[in-house]
Structure 1
Amino acid sequence: MAALNRTYLEQSEIKMFIIIHQERWKIIIYSLFLSLMQQKIYEIALSLMNGIGPKRAKTLVSYLGSAEEVFKVRHKIDALIPGVSKQLLKAVKWEECLQRAEIELEWMDKNSIDVHFYLDQNYPKKLKQCDDGPVVFYAKGGHYNKRKNIAVVGTRKCTSYGVQMTRDLIHGLKDFNVQIVSGLAFGIDIAAHKAALEFDVPTIGVLAHGLDDLYPVGHKSTAKKMLENGGGLISEFMSNTVAEKENFPKRNRIVAGMCDATIVVESSQKGGSLITAGLANDYNRDVFAFPGNADKTSSVGCNYLIQKNRAHLITCAQDMIDILGWQDELASTPIQTDLFTSYSPEEEKILNILREKGITQIDDLCHFCAMTVSQLSVQLFNLEMKGAIRALSGKRFEFI
């Protein structure tokens, strides 16, 4: 009997031990959750600071370590960081930013919306390289770093030729691990999204308004299919933000900034697609354009980009694949270095970076060298033929 009582007591103690520790873990997990939510409030609030903008906001975080710290030491920021205007900081409605951020986070939780801070791992890698990239953006579905993001843009008043070229283009790219990015607008945008769905390619819609609505309304069914097919909808604008005219250039910079390349299918002399192409050029990304008849309004923009060497001329997907070297793996066999080989300034720049940083991925080299992928590929090929560098798997390179 005494032995049975001891066993019962031991079992009771074990059960109590388990219950206590389960409760402790629940408290720890809940505390972590609250901490994460608080962090998100500060990050959203940072993006709402009037007069600050993405570049200044990122500078504040780089000095102080986090969005939360920016708010905690707001009364002495001008003393901590050189060049920050006291008047500018006084104009910021700090408490209002935090209150609005808290409201937004509650709405996001109810509507399955995610928010991505620019230092988060799942923030698009290419967009991180853009100084003016949004501090945060809001998202429904989508993955941003698993595939090559390719922007397909063009006029809202597209022709049947433009729609067919868009369809043929995406059909030709579908086997190259791409994700199509566009703006869900009329014309080439919606044609790109629909073609991506047709060929089972994930596609991202970048919006010029909050995620509580969708404009144009007629594209809601396409947006729903995009989410079901592994794509997503993203915006830097909070809920209750309507699609105002000034929002579209901001939207275009995200399209250009997050993508490896931008393709303009059809474009008039002015318009959002030319703005997107210009931004992509500014970000040192490859831009491609389909030529068209000289007397067609819908071809004027593309012909201009090609004429001014602001875009590669392509007539099909294969042209782009060849320019970017997607099908050609650089030979990895080392070649004996000639001690007396001469290098161009561009080649010297690449070599200096590889000497300093060691093995480097091609996207990072593009960023460090301020070159497009196609420009850099030519230089890398020349350097490998000279035996100065070695190509490794995963589009990485090292100095020999």
Structure 2
Amino acid sequence: MILNFYKLVRIFGSAKNAWENIKKEYKKLDGFGHKMVSDIGNPEHLKFANKEIEFCEKNNIKINLRHFNELPQLLNECDDAPAILYQKGNFDNSKEKVSIVGTRNMTSYGKQFIHDFFEETKSCNYISVSGLALGVDKEVHEQSVHNQISTVAVLAHGFHLLYPAKNRKLSEKIIEEGGTLFTEFNSSRKPDRENFIQRNRIVAGISPSTIVVETAFGGGSISTATFANNYNREVFALPGKVTDKQSQGCNHLIFQNKAKTISTIKDLIDNLGFNNTKLKTEELFSHNEIAVQLTENQELIYNVIFNNPQISLDDIVGKINLSSHKILPVILELELLGKIKSFSGRQFIVI
């Protein structure tokens, strides 16, 4: 139905024209039969639509329409993107995004990974995306709020309720802190079982990358990873012991080459493209504050290189009262500390 709606709007130029003319024109269209179009034009649908608009206006809900290109950019590129996406809160499409999903039965291993990931990325300018379920989803949203990172929660029901009820206060906090609640379901839709799989394609579609923290065989997060694969998005999975039930789904995704292995959080951050962390650190801490942590000789050589980018070893010797055989070990120490980088011709820069 989603694709049919989108196709009709493109053919007729607007939803109004399709609504008024489809019954007269459907025989000329490929893929549309009488049964498919028989209910279009039913005045009861217009009554429901008007009530839905009133509900949205009363509850500060924005209605995003795909045929007006109002969906998040990457989601809009998906063939099965929703025709309508209801929104509460703010959404900054210019920020990087990453979807993080996993089991409701999260272990301490998964919780520690999520904590460490957000600790390492709290200076990065991105949006986390998850499904507001218990377990991994809840931890993702809570860590986002705690670290002042915008977060998107995608719901499997309409905005007339909040499921699970335990997450009601968290959903309010998400909006208060500048985050977003999305759903494609109108206010009559309850959190039926099939809605959760349908919801997962939006979680996968919004972001260029999806991280699967923990999941058992056949867990709902496997569907999210599958959607992401089908959209040609990157998938990363946290490996675990083969005997741990909540790691078996992740291990299987990796085994089937449907997800990249998360070996370290640093490598994961690099793969996600969150490379502005160091820049943010340099904005928060001045050069002098960094240099204070070094030994006297390290600080001396670091300052020379900082003030003279791509300086050669001979020039360093000329600027300070140390011989080259004493300078080289200190330069090696600075390289190991990640403070400087060497080039051919024994030239150095601060990084």
TM-score grouping bracket, smaller chain normalisation: 0.7 to 0.9
List per-residue Cα deviations over 1:58-86 (Å, max 9, x = no partner): 11111111111111212223145333212
Q: Does 1:323 align with 2:271?
A: yes
List per-residue Cα deviations over 1:202-256 (Å, max 9, x = no partner): 0111111111111111111111110011101111111132111011011101101
Could you tell me how far apart the structure 2 residues matched to 1:222 and 1:213 are? 14
Could you tell me how far apart the structure 2 residues matched to 1:88 and 1:240 are? 22
- Deviation of 1:56 after TM superposition, in Å, equals 1.2
List per-residue Cα deviations over 1:242-281 (Å, max 9, x = no partner): 1110110111011011111100000001111111001100
Q: Which residue is 1:189 aligned to?
A: 137
Q: Which moved more, 1:312-321 or 1:124-133?
A: 312-321
Could you tell me how far apart the structure 1 residues matched to 2:50 and 2:130 are? 30
TM score, norm. by length of structure 2:
0.75
Could you tell me how far apart the structure 1 residues matched to 2:42 and 2:95 are? 38
Aligned residue identity for 1:153 = V
**Secondary structure, counterpart of 1:172 in structure 2:** helix
Q: Which residue is 1:263 aligned to?
A: 211
For the 8 Å contact 1:104–1:239, the answer to whether it is kept is yes
Could you tell me how far apart the structure 1 residues matched to 2:256 and 2:247 are? 14
Q: 2:10 aligns with which of 55, 58, 62?
A: 62
For the 8 Å contact 1:203–1:231, the answer to whether it is kept is yes
Q: 2:73 aligns with which of 125, 132, 137?
A: 125
Q: Which residue is 1:179 aligned to?
A: 127
Q: Does 1:198 align with 2:146?
A: yes
Q: Does 1:234 align with 2:191?
A: no
Q: Which residue is 1:305 aligned to?
A: 253
Could you tell me how far apart the structure 1 residues matched to 2:104 and 2:38 are? 43
Task: Give unmatched runs, 5+ long, in structure 2.
Answer: 277-351
Q: Which residue is 2:223 aligned to?
A: 275
TM score, norm. by length of structure 1:
0.66
For the 8 Å contact 2:74–2:207, the answer to whether it is kept is yes
* Superposition RMSD in Å: 1.6
Query: Are residues 204 and 131 of structure 1, via their aligned partners in 2, closer, same or farther at CA, if it must alter by over 3 Å?
Result: same
**Secondary structure, counterpart of 2:225 in structure 1:** helix
List per-residue Cα deviations over 1:97-125 (Å, max 9, x = no partner): 22111110011111111110013344111
**Secondary structure, counterpart of 2:243 in structure 1:** coil
Q: Which residue is 2:36 aligned to?
A: 88
Aligned residue identity for 2:108 = S
Query: Are residues 68 and 316 of structure 1, via their aligned partners in 2, closer, same or farther at CA, if it must alter by over 3 Å?
Result: farther
Q: 2:202 aligns with which of 246, 254, 257?
A: 254
Q: 2:115 aligns with which of 167, 178, 188?
A: 167
Could you tell me how far apart the structure 1 residues matched to 2:147 and 2:57 are? 32
Q: Which residue is 2:82 aligned to?
A: 134
- Deviation of 1:93 after TM superposition, in Å, equals 5.9
**Secondary structure, counterpart of 2:133 in structure 1:** coil
**Secondary structure, counterpart of 2:26 in structure 1:** helix
Q: Which residue is 2:315 aligned to?
A: none
Task: Give unmatched runs, 5+ long, in structure 1.
Answer: 1-52, 329-400
Aligned residue identity for 2:7 = T
Aligned residue identity for 2:241 = N
Aligned residue identity for 1:82 = D
List per-residue Cα deviations over 1:39-66 (Å, max 9, x = no partner): xxxxxxxxxxxxxx11111111111111
Aligned residue identity for 2:100 = V
Q: Which residue is 1:15 aligned to?
A: none
Aligned residue identity for 1:71 = W
Q: Which residue is 1:106 aligned to?
A: 54
Q: Percent identity?
A: 38
Could you tell me how far apart the structure 1 residues matched to 2:68 and 2:125 are? 23
Q: 1:218 aligns with which of 157, 161, 166?
A: 166
For the 8 Å contact 2:69–2:76, the answer to whether it is kept is no
Aligned residue identity for 2:127 = Q
Q: How many residues align?
A: 276
Q: Does 1:285 align with 2:233?
A: yes
Could you tell me how far apart the structure 1 residues matched to 2:5 and 2:54 are? 23
Aligned residue identity for 2:105 = K
Aligned residue identity for 2:257 = N
